[in-house]
Amino acid sequence: MAHYSPAETSVPDLRERRRRELARAIALAAVELFEQNGFQATTIDDIAAATGISRTTFFRHCATKEAAVLVDDAGLEAELLSAAGSANPQRPLGDLEGAWEPMTVLFDEDHEGHNRFLRVRRLMRQYPALLAAGLERDARLTAHLAERLTEHAGLAPLDAHAVAESFSLGMRLSFDEWVRAVDAEPEHPASLTDIYTRVRTALREAIQEPTP
């Protein structure tokens, strides 16, 4: 694929922007209710009412109350799938990493978004159902990336899964380290972009470790 840059990230149309705004409003309402009342005590009707929408509208955006806090209101998943579909078969992992890097910059600049992300991660520590939903969402994205790499970039299924899993591991490690860094020093905001660079280096060094 052509290497991504922030300028190349697609600009959503008005309808998509409104969809993302509503998804973000749903997510924020759900986070606040889970924090105030607990996950088990909060219902879908509660989230819909707090957002000012009907139950039907809620289900157009989220299948479950767990999904309400896991919405992709920035369109990052679509960008990654697009990157996987046009990846260079000779360097698919590098192309996925190149697509993700400008997204980490956007994450660092979106203070409201990464504050909500941090709150969701803390809720996951409290509620296994939320953690399970998050892991399932990550696994689903990894599977979709592998499918795109196979169907559009022409990789063999095993190669595609190896690339998708390696890329997803880097993402997960970066977010885990970002949360750890923020929890350790909340007065010094961590940069996901810097952390992702370090994670990529660490993974490459681990893979290249000489065999005894």
pLDDT at position 10: 60
Low-confidence ranges of the chain (pLDDT < 70): 1-11, 209-212
**Nearest C-alpha neighbor of 32 from the set 68, 62, 57, 59:** 68
pLDDT tens digits along 146-163:
999 999 999 999 999 999
Domains of the chain: total:
1
Assess if residue 212 is contained within a domain.
no
Distance of alpha carbon 77 from alpha carbon 71, whole angstroms = 10
Task: Kindly report the pTM of this predicted structure.
Answer: 0.86
151: region left, alpha or beta (phi > 0 left; psi from -120 to 50 alpha): alpha
Kindly state whether residue 25 falls inside one of the protein's structural domains: yes
1 within some domain: no
Asked if the structure places residue 30 within a domain, the reply is yes
Can you give the pLDDT at residue 13? 78
For the chain, how many residues are written?
212
Give the pLDDT confidence score for residue 209 in this predicted structure: 60
| Residues 183-202 pLDDT 10s | 999 888 889 999 999 999 99
d(CA 42, CA 37): 6
Q: Please report, for the domain that includes residue 200, its CATH number.
A: 1.10.357.10
Residue owning tokens 């990529």 = 200
Q: What is the pLDDT of residues 79-91, one digit of tens each?
A: 999 999 999 999 9
Residue-level pLDDT at 211: 58
Task: Indicate the SS3 state at residue 212.
Answer: coil
> Which domain does 167 fall in, by range?
6-207
Q: Return the pLDDT at 73.
A: 77
Question: Six-digit token pair at 96?
Answer: 């996925």
Residue 212 is predicted with a pLDDT of 60
